[in-house]
Amino acid sequence: MINLEIHYPADNACKTDEVDQALNYKVITKEVISLVEQGHFLLLEKLVAEILAVCHSHPSVHYAKARVDKPHALRFADSVSLTLDWTK
């Protein structure tokens, strides 16, 4: 499971309710899905870092946090997760 927290200046989007004033998170989501489907990662650290790179490649993003859960990675554990964040 992948969870993203993305911060950008959303003031205009909140005021106007106009789609073109908001960050297009659908674009980011598709880029992350493509990265995961096409990539081969041995470490969660590398995968999470690459996901963050996708997020901060968008100019309006000034903070991003990514968490990836890897189910059943350890015996007797539901999952292992790693969270990294990035600030512009």
10 Å CB burial of residue 81 (0-12, 13-18, 19+) is middle
Cite the DSSP H helix spans in the chain.
11-16, 25-38, 44-56
The pTM assigned to this predicted structure is: 0.86
Give the model confidence (pLDDT) of 16-50 as tens digits. 988 888 899 899 999 999 999 998 998 999 999 99
- Is 24 within a domain? no
- Is 58 within a domain? yes
- Count of alpha carbons within 13 angstroms of residue 33, beta-carbon side: 6
- Is 5 within a domain? yes
Tokens of 24: 């297009």
Given a cut of 80, whether residue 74 has pLDDT beyond it is: no
The β-bridge partners of 65 are: 5, 85
Range of the domain at 41: 1-14+32-76
pLDDT band at residue 6 using 50, 70 and 90 as cut-offs: very high
Give how many domains the chain has, as a whole number: 1
